[in-house]
Amino acid sequence: MKKTLLLFVSLAFASAGYSQPGSTVTETATRFLSTLSAEELQKTQYAFTDSLRFKWTNLPVGLVPRPGIAYGSLSDKSRMAFHRVLSAMLSSQGYLKTTSLMQLDDILNTLYQQSFDRGEIN
């Protein structure tokens, strides 16, 4: 039932013009992946059956290990390609919200680090 509902919602959004064409997303994702080194690719790509797909966290960096590659470790070329992927996948409002959340995460990380450095948290 959940899969059917998800499929219906996906098709409804796609037909309503809320999603980007699949070929655009595929092309920009392929270009992003081509900017990564072999080591970065290994951290970025997981098998569909890999349980790491489900182990997502938004806790501050360092509290819980995060699978994948850190955005901050990407080259400028890879970051630009990553933003092209986001732009291809999301509406302009979705892109703005996503990048705003990324900035808020940076602020949270800075505040967390300052508290850690002052010995207020372990």
**Structure pTM?**
0.69
Are 78 and 70 spatial neighbours (Cβ–Cβ below 8 Å)? no
Q: Is 104 helix (H, G, I), strand (E, B) or coil?
A: helix
The 10s digit of each residue's pLDDT in 25-49 is: 999 999 999 999 999 999 988 888 9
Average per-residue pLDDT for the chain: 81
Q: Is 91 helix (H, G, I), strand (E, B) or coil?
A: coil
Tens place of pLDDT per residue across the chain (122 aa): 444 334 444 444 444 455 556 678 999 999 999 999 999 999 988 888 988 877 878 776 667 878 888 888 999 999 999 999 999 999 999 999 999 998 988 888 888 889 989 999 87
State how far the alpha carbon of 15 is from the alpha carbons of 8, 25, 70, 96, in Å.
Answer: 10, 16, 34, 23
**CA 28, 90, 40, 45 torsion-angle sign:** negative
Residue spans of the domains in the chain: they are 20-117
